[in-house]
Amino acid sequence: MIRTRRAAAAGPVRTRKRGRRSPLASVALVAVGLLLTGGAYTLFTASSGASAAIDLNSAQAISQGKKLFQANCATCHGLALQGTVAGPSLIGVGAAAVDFQVGTGRMPLAQDAPQAQDKPPVFDDTQTKELAAYVASVAPGPGLPSSKYLQLSGNATRGAELFRINCAMCHNVAGAGGALTEGKYAPNLNGVTPAHIYEAMLTGPQNMPVFNDANISPQDKADIITALKATQQNANVGGFDLGSLGPVAEGLFLWIFGLGAIVAFTVWLTAKAN
């Protein structure tokens, strides 16, 4: 008796639900989509950091790289790397510059902008190394960093001091990045592979100055990378860092949530009970 009544009551409710989607469904769908995209992006960028064993001097790598270059880069940089009005000459930039620009996805350029942005790389690691081999074969330049400087085994204390003196004014003391002039910016260094950090210091991509080995020695660079990774991996003692952006983010948080709570309590305190 009870069971039948319950079934009868549930019947119309169920049919109505089938006809109209819950308002939360679209929110959940968007959340799932965002999670999938973000997850795929993380996987993609993480996999690009793996280094493939390729001999940069092998004739095969150079000829493969030449083909890739002619098909993908020569429009702006010229068939002989001499540069055009659309892009700078690549003579003497070396394998390190190619590995950084192509490996972080900055090249090929997606659009004309104040500066090239890092994005999922177009070429896989082998293709990137082949391009680097070709560019390095045309004229000598800074080579790929030796893996012994990328092991995060340097002196983090010394590296942090060098970072504060040479890098922190643009990249923020925690490596969170910062604004430059006219839409340019120093990128966030969190999640950048040690090899790419090393190559950026060595070659000075875009508006970043060059820090050659006479200025910051290879061991100094290894120390800086060690310090950066230590900063990013150590648990933050102070709680939420709010992007490590300093007083701007912290002030905004306090103004909105701190003052908001005070205003809300004041309104409640002075309101009459009904």
Partner 1 sequence: MANQESTEVVPAGRAAASSGTAVERSDAFQNPGLPPHRPRVTDSDPKAAKHAERAIVALFYVSIVGAVFAMAAYFAFPIHADDLASVRLNNLFLGLGLSLALLAIGVGAVHWGKVLMADHEGVDIRHPIRGDQKTRARAVEIIDLANVESGFGRRTLIRNSMIAAIAVLPFPAIFLFRDLAPASGTPAEAYSHTMWKKGSRLTKDPSGVPIKASDVTIGSVFHVIPEGLNDAPDMLEEKAKAAVLLMRLDPADLHPSKGRESWAYDGIVAYSKICTHVGCPVALYEQQTHHLLCPCHQSQFDITREAEVIFGPAKRPLPQLPISVDSQGYLVAQSDFHEPVGPSFWERRGDYNV
Choices 20-28, 53-61, 77-85, 208-216 (CB under 8 A): range interacting with partner 1: 208-216
Stretch that binds partner 1, among 45-53, 70-78, 99-107, 228-236 (CB under 8 A): 228-236
Should residue 243 be labelled a site residue for partner 1 when binding is judged by CB under 8 A? no
Interaction with partner 1 in 175-204: which residues (CB under 8 A)? 178, 180-181, 184, 186, 204
Separation between Cα atoms, residue 119 and residue 53, nearest integer Å: 23
Structure tokens at 95: 């394998």
Quote the least distance from Cβ 65 to partner 1, whole Å.
25
SS3 for 51-72 is CCCCCCCCHHHHHHHHHHHHHH
**Residues binding partner 1: what is the number (CB under 8 A)?**
32
* DSSP symbols for 168-181: HHHH-TTS--EE-S
Q: Closer to partner 1 at the Cβ: 111 or 234?
A: 234
The CB-of-116 to partner 1 minimum distance in angstroms stands at 12
Tracing tokens 């469904």 back to the chain, one arrives at 25
Nearest to 143 by CA among 88, 80, 66, 195: 195
Structure token pair of residue 43: 């996987």
Q: Residues near 232 by Cβ (< 8 Å), separated by ≥ 6?
A: 175, 190, 191
Out of 57, 236, 256, 264, the residue judged to bind partner 1 by CB under 8 A: 236
Q: Which spans of this chain sit near partner 1 (rule: CB under 8 A)?
A: 161-162, 165-166, 169-170, 178, 180-181, 184, 186, 204, 206-212, 214-215, 234-239, 268-269, 272-274
